[in-house]
Structures are given as structure tokens and as C-alpha cells.
Amino acid sequence: FAKPVDAGQLINALDRLTGVEENTPLRVLIVDDDQEFGHNCVHSLEIAGIHARAITDPRETLNQLQVFQPDLIVLDMYMPICSGKELASIIRQQDRYVGMPIVFLSAETNRLQQQSVLSLGADDFLAKPISPADLVAAISARAMRARYLQRFLIRDSLTGLLNHQAVEEELSHEFARAERLQQPLSIAIIDIDHFKRVNDSYGHLIGDQVLRSFARLLQQRLRKSDLIGRHGGEEFLVALPNTSLVEARTLIDTIRTSFAALRHYGPAGEFTVTFSAGIAGYPHHRSQLGVMQAADAALYQAKHAGRNRIVV
């Protein structure tokens, strides 16, 4: 940048830079009853900079998909308890893993058997034994593409937050978790105040910038385990696991104060923007729908009471 630098231009550029996804290593899960083989695969992949984990018990697979969050899964064909084919069809039945690449790695040489796993929805069939270089080559491009696609499917392109569908889906998992663990779960529906005026006064591009800076503020202030989604145009949804209504209110209120103090830069100079929020939660309301309706009603009250405030 050349000084003097235009503030709006600078913020735009920083936005673009911080929006770039961190280059975290690809993650691969290997399911093979042969422990030594799995271990060797992990070793080959780790050398190539791929984060790999091997498990020998196929029953652990669904759990590992959740905790390890791989970009791709490698399955052995023949294992006790559950075959790779059965496992592949179980994985494919889950909505959230429809895009998960499944690669078979097996000593099976029968063409018909190999074709049968591909017709099940597996993406590739690799033959054992395989050299480390071949394994890495077969896996990395596919895993990379899957990660990109996954991000594209669940993220909102303007803010990088979870999109409407993804946040609803994740919320139902969080809700089930809260019920199971008997922990509180608080939800905030946040809506930017008079956002139409921002667009009308400063233009749509500046409006977009306000949405991005708000999204960034949420990401900075909330925990990694919290859900942050762009629920609609200028409406956001935040879900706070293991957080009471009182704690949620305090937290969202500090964010409200920070946001209201933030200076945005338009062609005609600085301006500020506020938001209103409605908060509700489990177990005060027993169902996900009940919580969402209560949070919506609270947001409506916050707007009517004059905006730039939170109603629980």
C-alpha cells in the first residue's frame, strides 16, 4: 500500500486477506483391521504432510468421522464384524457425508468385486500392496477437491459463516447433544438494524463490507465450539452450547457494544451500525422449534423497543 491510504480500501484488502482459509493439512481416516498396514499408511501420508489416523475397529468409524473430521476415508474390504462395503453404505446413508470421498484399498483382485464397491458409491479402488507415492498421489487431489467442495456447500460465500441449511443442520445436532448431556443451549437470532438504510445511503458494496466485519467480530468473540451462521440476508444465528441464558445475554451484549462502536467507512465518511438480538434456549424451551420461535419473538420485541438491544 502507498501512504496515504484510503481507510475503506485498506479494510477491503484486509477483509480479503483474512477471508482466505488457513491452509490446514488434509485429513485422512483409514479403517483397516490390519494394524500394521494402517500404521504404515499413516506414516506414508504424514511424511507427505497429510494428517492421517488409522483405526482397526470398523464400529468406531462414525464416531471418528465426527471427532477427526477427515476430508477423505480409506476403507479395507475385508474386516471382521463389518465389511468395508457395509461400512461404505452406512456412511453414504448419512446426509452430512454424501460428499465424503471413499477410497477402497484392498488385496481383492476380482474385477467384479472391485466394480461392486464402486457401484456402491465408492470413489476409487486401490490395490494392495501400494507404494507410499501412489497412495499419496491417489488421495491428495481427491481430498483437496472434497474439502473445497464441502466448504462451498456449507459456507456462505460473502462471510465464510455456515449457510442457512448448514447452521440448521448443525443446530439439530447441538440440540440433541444438549438433551443427552442435560446441558443448557442458548440461541441468539441477531438482525442488523436499519440495514436497508445502510445500503441506501452508502451502497450495496459497503453494506456487504459491514456484514463481513460483523461476521469477523462474531468469529473473534465466540468459541470454536459455538455455531455461527448467516441465517438470512442480514440475519445471523448463534448457538452457544453449555451456556445459560444469563451468560448468553452478557456475551452477546458485549458484542453488541463492540459492534455499535465499530467505525465503518463509506464514500461520505464514517458511520456506525447497530444490531438487535433475541435470545432463547434449552431447557427453558423444550424443542428446537420452540427455542427458535421464542428467539424470533424476542428479536421482534427488541426491534419494537427501539433496536440496538437484546431481549431474552
The binder of 169, among ligand GH3, Mg ion, none, by C-beta within 5 to 8 A per type, is: none
CA gap 107, 114 in Å, rounded = 10
Residue 303 near ligand GH3 by CB under 6 A: yes
Is 21 among the residues known to form the active site?
no
Which one is catalytic: 170, 234, 247, 270?
A: 234
Stretch touching Mg ion by CB under 5 A, among 30-38, 43-51, 172-180, 252-260: 30-38
Determine if 97 is a binding residue for Mg ion (CB under 5 A).
Answer: no
Q: Which of ligand GH3, Mg ion, none does residue 168 bind (CB under 5 to 8 Å by kind)? A: none
Q: Are strands 269-271 and 275-282 parallel, antiparallel or unpaired?
A: unpaired
Say whether residue 200 binds Mg ion (CB under 5 A).
Answer: no
Cβ 158 to ligand GH3 shortest distance, Å = 6
Q: Which of residues 39-78 bind ligand GH3 (CB under 6 A)?
A: none
Question: Does residue 195 interact with Mg ion by CB under 5 A?
Answer: yes
Residue 301 found at the interface with ligand GH3 (CB under 6 A) = no
Residue 191 in contact with ligand GH3, rule: CB under 6 A: yes
| CB-nearer residue toward ligand GH3: 27 or 256 | 256
Q: Is 307 in the site for ligand GH3 (CB under 6 A)?
A: yes
Q: Which does 78 bind (CB under 5 to 8 A by kind): ligand GH3, Mg ion, none?
A: Mg ion
Integer Cα distance of 144 and 204 in angstroms? 33
Give the binding range for ligand GH3 (CB under 6 A) out of 44-52, 71-79, 173-181, 194-202: 194-202
Q: Which of 194, 221, 285, 309 binds ligand GH3 (CB under 6 A)?
A: 194
Site for Mg ion in 134-163 (CB under 5 A): none
Q: Is residue 233 close enough to count as binding ligand GH3 by CB under 6 A?
A: yes
- When the beta carbons of 173 and 304 are compared against ligand GH3, the nearer one is 304
Maximum CA extent, the chain = 71
Interface region with ligand GH3, contact rule CB under 6 A, candidates 118-126, 144-152, 206-214, 285-293: 206-214
Q: What is the DSSP string of the chain?
A: -PSS--HHHHHHHHHHHHHSPP-PPPEEEEE-S-HHHHHHHHHHHHHTT-EEEEES-GGGHHHHHHHH--SEEEE-S--SSS-HHHHHHHHHTSGGGTT--EEEEE----HHHHHHHHHTT--EEEESS--HHHHHHHHHHHHHHHHHHHHHHHB-TTT-SB-HHHHHHHHHHHHHHHHHHT--EEEEEEEETTHHHHHHHH-HHHHHHHHHHHHHHHHHHS-TTSEEEEEETTEEEEEEET--HHHHHHHHHHHHHHHHH--EEETTEEE---EEEEEEEETTS-SHHHHHHHHHHHHHHHHHTTSS-EE-
**Binders in 58-77 for Mg ion, by CB under 5 A:** 76
Binding footprint of ligand GH3 on the chain (CB under 6 A): 158, 191-196, 199, 204, 207-208, 211, 233-234, 303, 307
Question: Which residues are catalytic, by number?
Answer: 234
